[in-house]
Amino acid sequence: MTLTQFKQAVEYLGGAEDELDWMPQLSNWWFWGIVWTALCTLIYIFSGQNSKFIYIDF
Amino acid sequence: LSSNSLTLSTFLATLATLLACLAALNFAVVHLTRNSIPKQVLARAATSKADSVIAIGNSLIAAGFDEDAFDRGFEIARPAGSVNLGLGASAPTEHLLILRSALRNNARRNTIVYGFYDLQLTEPEIFHTSDLFGNHAMLYYTEPAFGARFFHQSFHDRVEFALMRHIPMIVERGAIWAKVERFRRKLAELGMGKELNNRFGRVGDFSLLEAPVASRFASDCASANTRSLNSAVNEMIGESSEHGIKMVFVEMPMHPYHVRTFYGLPEWKEYTAALRMNLASKNAEFIDASRWIASEQDFADHLHLSPRGAREFSERLGNQLREP
């Protein structure tokens, strides 16, 4: 991914642009597999923030 | 449009990629948590064959039992010394599992020191799925069927427990969350004063583990007086007796604030008198060390001893246990 493509993606996600030229096709299964993994990983990592940590030496 | 439509085969291929990546993530979590604190304690329990005295309990023992100082007081020399198997943020069921691990290796033990505070010996253990993270994670992988007999769960939580214990990412979620939490705390300190921390967490947080007011503690003591010993504690006494090992329950040294506020109450005295009799009837010894350390400087927070306090307490405990 080039810096320009990244900028376009951020603008698209933020709503500044209506279209994304280089949007991967839905048939690009490996790309979407990795996107879903990244989302699941982010949810996994940050889903503990409601836990009350008194002890933290795990 | 047709090139951008989702077919069943591409959907399944995407799903397979996701599952493969999650499997890889599980392997990464297994690798990252191979030396988690409970695993280190269990490994020590299993390999400490020479140690004749084992100290078990929660973080009060982990921080407060100094092996060398105890050995000096007890007048035993290495390799037949003592071993600290205390585990922070743990409950009697975990202590029982650690004890079983220590007894399983056929080592010659002669004394078990079990450190406790407040109502720990008589409180029933009730775990929700949301409680089973951090060091409690060992319940998922250390004799899970046996351990589950000693704590209560709802039917829903029992089903979740049975399913979740097969997925390392979920079992060890606390280890990953703790790293994120440490990062969040660092960010929160940017431009602010630094929080006072010790080895277990933020110093100020540990006062949350005390009763909010004396009247609440008094009513907790009164209701605890109607309960018998926690079933995991009973099992520990039974197993130590089977192995012919003396079990000593030590009421751990507490911060002068805690002693002043809670341990002078008549309800507490009544509770400990009943506890002492109960333990004596099971041939277990009871030592009240709650007032042994009088200086606030010898405490790292409201519950835990500092290294200097731990040395003083452990040597005195060793001395006392040596005397017939």
The structure tokens listed for A55 are 């002890």
Cβ–Cβ < 8 Å for B135, B87: yes
Residue B1: pLDDT over 70: no
8 Å CB contact of A32 and B22: no
The number of C-beta contacts closer than 8 angstroms across A and B is 106
The mean pLDDT value for B262-271 works out to: 96
By DSSP bridging, strand B246-251 and strand B285-288 are parallel
Which is more confidently placed, B20 or A22? B20
8 Å CB contact of A49 and B169: no
Which pLDDT belongs to residue B105?
Answer: 75
Which pLDDT belongs to residue B208?
Answer: 86
Could you report the per-residue pLDDT of B242-259, keeping only the tens digit for each? Answer: 999 999 999 999 999 999
Q: Cα-flanking dihedrals φ and ψ of residue B312, to 5°?
A: -65, -50
Which pLDDT belongs to residue B59?
Answer: 95
By DSSP bridging, strand B82-84 and strand B246-251 are unpaired
Which pLDDT belongs to residue A25?
Answer: 77
- The rounded distance, in Å, linking the Cα atoms of B16 and B300 is 50
Residue B176: pLDDT over 80: yes
Cβ–Cβ < 8 Å for B286, B241: no
User: Which residues in B lie closer than 8 A to residue A21 (C-beta atoms)?
Assistant: none
8 Å CB contact of B13 and A30: yes
Residue B204: pLDDT over 90: no
Which pLDDT belongs to residue B197?
Answer: 87
8 Å CB contact of B174 and A51: yes
Secondary-structure percent of chain A, ordered helix, strand, coil, rounded to 5? 50, 0, 50
Cβ–Cβ < 8 Å for B121, B105: no
Could you report the per-residue pLDDT of B158-172, keeping only the tens digit for each? Answer: 999 999 999 999 999
This model of the complex carries an ipTM of: 0.78
Q: Which residue in the set A32, A47, A57 is minimally distant from B199, CB to CB?
A: A57
8 Å CB contact of B130 and A51: yes
Assign B287 a pLDDT band (cuts: 50, 70, 90): very high
**Using H for helix, E for strand and C for coil, what is the string for B121-148?**
CCCCCECCHHHCCHHHHHHHHCCHHHHH
Could you report the per-residue pLDDT of B48-98, keeping only the tens digit for each? Answer: 877 889 999 999 999 999 999 999 999 987 778 999 999 999 999 999 999
Show which residues on chain A lie within 8 Å of chain B, measured between beta carbons: 25-27, 29-30, 32-34, 36-37, 40-41, 44-49, 51, 53-58
Give Cβ neighbours of residue B79 (< 8 Å, ≥ 6 apart): B50, B51
Cβ–Cβ < 8 Å for B46, B287: no
